[in-house]
Amino acid sequence: MKPVRKTSAKSVGHEDKAAVSQEFIIRSYTHKQLASAYDVSWLTFQRWVKKHKDTIGEKNGHFYLSRQVHTIVQIFGLPKYTVSVDEMSSDID
């Protein structure tokens, strides 16, 4: 069973802008997906990760593995936003 971290996240692009409870699942993510979840630019997220490269390690291809994502969450805290299924599928194509 995969570890699940719960966080309050805002609904992005929806009519209801109030904070809602959503889950952040610890699994493999691309750099772009994690930057989006933390609501920062790709470059800003790259700078954050670069400072902790020894702890986080190198990406596996285009993905941070689940153990690396767990380490990222330990360092930076839970992201503000969750990654939507639409964003995940668009990165895969």
Kindly state whether residue 74 falls inside one of the protein's structural domains.
yes
pLDDT value, residue 30: 95
Q: Is residue 60 part of a domain?
A: yes
Mean pLDDT across the stretch 12-41?
Answer: 75
pLDDT-derived band of residue 4, with 50, 70 and 90 as boundaries? low
Classified as helix, coil or strand, 51 is: helix
CATH number at residue 52: 1.10.1660
The count of other CB atoms within 10 Å of the CB of residue 45 is 21
Does some domain include residue 32?
Answer: yes
Record the pTM.
0.66
Is residue 78 domain-resident? Answer: yes
Domain housing 36: 26-92
What is the Cα Rg of the chain in Å? 13
Q: Is 2 inside any structural domain?
A: no
pLDDT at position 7: 45
Asked if the structure places residue 52 within a domain, the reply is: yes
Q: Within a domain: residue 54?
A: yes
Taking only the tens place, the pLDDT of each residue in 43-54 is 999 999 999 999
The reply to whether 13 falls in a domain is: no
Q: Which of 67, 89, 54, 46 is nearest to 3 (CA)?
A: 67
Q: Is the pLDDT of residue 12 over 60?
A: no
Q: Is the dihedral of CA 57, 4, 11, 79 positive or negative?
A: negative
- Number of separate domains in the chain: 1
Cα–Cα separations (whole angstroms), residue 61 to 28, 38, 64, 65: 11, 21, 8, 10
